[in-house]
Amino acid sequence: MSRRSKMLIILLLVLTAAVIAFALFFMGRGVETTPVTLPSPGQSSAAETSMPGPERVELTSENVAAVLAELTRAESYSGSVTIEDFWDGGSASTQLQVWVSNGRTRVRGERGGSPRNILVSEGTLYIWYDNVSGVFSGPWEGSADEWLRALSYEDVLSLPPEQITGAGYAQLSGEECVYVDYTGGLLGYTYRVYVSVSNGLLMGAEKYDGGSLIYRMFAEYELSVPDESLFVPPEG
C-alpha cells in the first residue's frame, strides 16, 4: 500500500470519529434530566425534607394566620394536658387526660378531690363523677377546648395583623411548632400559642397580664384511635 493510501485511510478514520463524537454530544443535549433542588444556605436537605406540614416560610404578623389556616388537626388522638395558674404569692397545677375521635372529646381530671369525666359528643355534653351516681346531660354548642381550659388558636385567624406582635418557629415537647404572640380580650392580655405543624394540635400556650405570667399550658399527644368505650357515658 502506498504512503498516500495510508494517509487517506487515517484521514477517513479521524473524520469518522469526529462525526460520531459530534452526534453523541448534540443528541444528548436534547434529553431532559430531573431537576435537583438545593437546600437554602444554612439549611440542610435532611432538615428540610423531614419537616412536615406547610412549606417553611418566614413568618410575619401578616402571613402567620394564613399559615395556621393551612394546618389540619388530627382527627383521633389521646394525650395529657398540664394547666398552670399563677397569681401573687401562689400557683396551682391541674393535670387532665383527653381522648378525641370522630368529633367526640372526653376529658378526665380531678375536681374537688374526685375524678370528673366530661364527654362532648354529637352536640351533647355529659358530666359524671367516678364516686357519684348519676349523669348530667344537656345540649352543647361550644368547643370542647373550653373543658380543657385550652386556648382556641383558631381565634388568631380572625385577628387584625396589628394585634399579632410576633411569630416564628420553635420546638416544644419534641414537635416542630409555629408560635404566635398576640393581644386580645377586654383586659388586654397578651398570649403566645404553639401549634404543631405535623398534627395541627395546640402544644402549648401562655397568658400574661402585663409582664406577669398568669397561665401556662403544655400537652403531649399520641396519634392513635382511642377505644370506643371511652365515648360511652354510664347509664343513669
Q: Residue 131: its pLDDT value, please? A: 83
| 8 Å CB contact between 194 and 177 | yes
For 57-87, the pLDDT digits (tens) are 889 999 999 999 999 999 999 999 999 999 9
Residue 39 has pLDDT above 70, yes or no: no
Residue 41 has pLDDT above 80, yes or no: no
Residue 25 has pLDDT above 60, yes or no: no
Residue 52 has pLDDT above 70, yes or no: no
**Higher-scoring residue by pLDDT: 201, 154:** 201
217 in helix, strand or coil? Answer: strand
Task: Please count the other Cβ atoms lying within 10 Å of the Cβ belonging to residue 111.
Answer: 13
Average pLDDT over residues 128-154: 90
Average pLDDT over residues 128-135: 90
Cα 232–Cα 135–Cα 124 angle in degrees, nearest 5: 60
Mean pLDDT check: name the lowest of 103-107, 123-127, 172-176, 204-208: 172-176
Q: Which three cell numbers stand for residue 118?
A: 366530661
* Spatial separation of the C-alpha atoms in residues 212 and 55, rounded to whole Å: 34
Q: What pTM was computed for the model? A: 0.73
For 144-179, the pLDDT digits (tens) are 889 998 888 888 888 888 999 999 999 998 899 999
* Spatial separation of the C-alpha atoms in residues 191 and 151, rounded to whole Å: 9
